[in-house]
Structure 1
């Protein structure tokens, strides 16, 4: 039925400029021994240290783990959990970009249940509640502050892997756009494009047949009336704010729109899921070692063009919120936005070798949990055609 909806979210979301100053009191309500997870750069940041001082002023004992690395190598998460186990935190606070928040989620899980990250790869493998988690994003992109997903890199698998469980949703998401003011233009563009892709893929995802077992058996249940609400609002906010935030990092109003958009996109895809653009990006990222947001943004217009016959009502709805005349103009408009903020237009521009296109198509077809969300089925010949179109930079003939 079209009136089926699912929402999974933090118990509390706090949004607004300056709200980072509420962190100490909000954490103190939840625990007294905090493990704060961040990276080496942020650990030296004055705003970060003000937040630590606030925690301590509120009577919270603090241990800082600044070992987070980009893409969260699984072995670093294991080492950090082993190092923190004797400290026995009763709350974990993640401060930073998506990798820091995903690292915090993984530590919350490993401290509660032991084992290694590989024990929990996939959906619904987490056996129960994790150590309570507070997420404080300093970039606006992944939406990890509100999602049930932690993404890691596994050297044995040569691809990024995910742990997906409602238990990984933070208890509190504290989103202060002032923390993004120093984010450089390139990172602002990559993160914001990732958020836009989350929102578009959630809004255009396939719709599952609603039944009482769906939310029991799957984390990502497909497009629904609640995810649509958040996804479309996110698209509108990101469309109005992303280029401005990239052009002027000090524009707090634009920063606020982008951060709200990223959080709402996280609420949307955290139940609806993502689709083909993310499936193809996994092998593309493994080969090119380029940022995830750049890869999915590069792929998104081609995936939209391929899906066009199945998503015309959604394209019309997007047209209304971004202010173009019709759904027929949306794909070019989105591609134009990504080009204006400096993102690559094709997989060739991204650095993918042409002789690896078949391998990318083969690997992408194996990521079933994402492809089942794509509104138009993708068999191997169709995937080959889509990947080739994204490589040469031509959407003609995809739909």
Structure 2
């Protein structure tokens, strides 16, 4: 352990003393193989003109054409924007607004991965309020509802189909920023596991790791006991009894489905379990939030240009070990949910078993478990730590205080692939 570790704050456990439960969710969620065929009826019920946003790869696929043809057959005029880029640059939002600002849209349909869904959600409020997306950076700054949105995810990981946040990369600011508001919540989410069957192995691994990280962070988050005013104006109110229900279900599902997908990408049952787990993760992070892993990953992703899911996977071993002293019961329960822990053994041993099983699953999926693999340089550690601390929306959720020294220690251990257990 480096000398830095001696300055780290002691772990302090927080409890949900209020017994609070809070969820935010779409008006309708439709899940199951083949349910994409219901999109047309949902969109037709919203009005005669829609905009479909997607990316170039998805726009050339047969399922995409099938969905668009179905919407048009239902009597709805369809415009298509197929230029969504990864990590949703602000330029995409500006481009959509310039092209379709006067189109009088009745709905917006997002089809694709997280960036496509985030684009649909954020464009819906920007168009409705005729403003620049920068006016909405932050939380609860959107003044009212947007154009109704239908989300159709094609990856099993981000949970963006049910979250009320869109993450935007602002190149002029050199960072990712969030637009967070209940007004970004989709009117309907249609989750069809068949759409993930052609997902490339690398994308499957990255999004699967992302879903796992969402569940782990939500379940081990800080409990905050918010006031009524905080509940009314804060996105992430902390770990709570309702998000825990979704976390338990999602963790249990990923405990078997991810390894099965790695062996057989065409296993529809495993794809369905993974996509349902990703939905559960989205429901959880919508009010509990992500935490230290996601705060630290953002600047690492900007430096290394590596997929978000691989970045969070590479950080998980060190961050889980850092947080463990403040969340032993939760990690022990994860161990039991994954079938890795003997419930008759001491709780700390069960917690260790849970963390080791998570790493085993991620390794089987082909996701990295150390920072050196991402190409991060030790010379960048201080920059990463400083940038991560700017993400207060995320660091405030971490169950153990994240100081600059703590983040540097996490980076050192993550780079060295140090899997020893933290004493404190």
> Which of 206, 211, 229 is equivalent to 1:213?
229
| CA deviation profile, 1:252-278 (whole Å, cap 9, x unmatched) | 000000000001100001110010000
TM-score, length of structure 1 as denominator length? 0.98
Please state how far the C-alpha of 1:43 moved relative to its aligned partner. Answer: 1.3
Cα distance in 1, alignment partners of residues 44 and 173 from structure 2: 39
The residue number in structure 2 matching 1:233 is: 249
Query: Partner of 1:368 in structure 2?
Result: 392
How far apart are residue 211 of structure 1 and its match?
2.1
Match of 1:306 in 2: 322
Residue 182 of structure 1 corresponds to which residue in structure 2?
198
Which stretch shows the higher mean deviation, 177-186 or 386-395? 386-395
Q: Which residue of 1 aligns with 2:281?
A: 265
**Deviation of residue 154 (structure 1)?**
0.9
**Corresponding residue number in structure 2 for 1:40:** 56
**Whole-angstrom CA distance in 2 between matches of 1:284 and 1:159:** 11
Offset, 1:212: 1.4
Q: How many angstroms does 1:366 deviate by?
A: 2.2
Shift of 1:32: 1.6
Is residue 37–residue 68 contact of structure 1 (8 Å, CA) maintained in 2? Answer: yes
Q: Partners in 1 of 2:95 and 2:356 — Cα distance? A: 46
- Conserved in 1, the CA contact under 8 Å of 2:21 and 2:241? yes
5+ unaligned residues in a row in structure 2: which ranges?
1-16, 342-349
Q: Are the aligned partners of 1:186 and 1:246 in contact in 2 as well (CA < 8 Å)?
A: no
Q: Mapping of 1:310-389 within 5 angstroms?
A: 310-325=326-341, 326-389=350-413
The 3-state SS of whatever aligns with 1:272 is coil
| Distance in 2 (alpha carbons) for counterparts of 1:121 and 1:395 | 37
2:215 pairs with 1:199: yes
Alignment partners' CA distance in 2, 1:365 and 1:155: 19
How far off is 1:397 after superposition?
A: 5.4
- Please report how far the alpha carbon of residue 106 of structure 1 lies from its aligned counterpart in structure 2 after TM superposition: 1.9
Give secondary structure in 2 for the equivalent of 1:161. Answer: strand
Q: Is the 8 A contact 2:207 2:309 kept in 1?
A: yes
In the TM superposition, what is the alpha-carbon distance from 1:342 to its structure 2 partner? 1.3
Alpha-carbon separation, structure 1, partners of 2:227 and 2:125: 29
Shift in Å, 1:153: 1.0
3-state SS of 2:47 partner: coil
- Alignment partner of 1:19 is 2:35: yes
Cross-structure match for 2:345: none
Tell me if the contact between 2:162 and 2:185 (Cα under 8 Å) persists in the aligned partners. yes
Provide the aligned length of Structure 1 versus Structure 2. 399
Deviation at 1:79, TM superposition (A): 1.3
Q: Does structure 1 residue 393 correspond to structure 2 residue 417? A: yes
The counterpart of 1:30, out of the listed 46, 55, 80, is 46
| Contact 1:198-1:265 within 8 A present in 2 as well | yes
Residue 112 (structure 2) aligns with: 96
Out of 224, 227, 236, the position equivalent to 2:240 is 224
Q: Distance in 1 between matches of 2:156 and 2:247?
A: 15
Conserved 8 A contact 1:7-1:226: yes
- Per-residue CA deviations over 1:341-394 (Å, capped at 9, x if unaligned) read 111121111110111111111211222111110001121222211111111111
Tell me if the contact between 1:347 and 1:391 (Cα under 8 Å) persists in the aligned partners.
Answer: yes
Secondary structure, counterpart of 2:131 in structure 1? coil
Secondary structure of the residue that 1:290 maps to in structure 2?
Answer: coil
Of stretches 303-312 and 357-366 in structure 1, the one that deviates more from structure 2 is: 357-366
1:2–1:224 Cα contact (<8 Å) kept:
no
Deviation at 1:29, TM superposition (A): 1.3
> Which structure would you say has the larger RCO, counting Cα contacts within 8 Å and 6 or more residues apart?
2
> Which shifted more, 265-274 or 122-131?
122-131
Could you tell me how far apart the structure 1 residues matched to 2:179 and 2:229 are? 21
1:2 CA drift (Å): 4.5
List structure 1 runs of 4+ shifted beyond 4 angstroms. Answer: none
Deviations 1:102-141 (A, max 9, x none): 1111211111112222111111111110100000001111
* CA shift for structure 1 position 395: 3.5
Match of 1:256 in 2: 272
Distance 1:117 1:307 in 2: 35
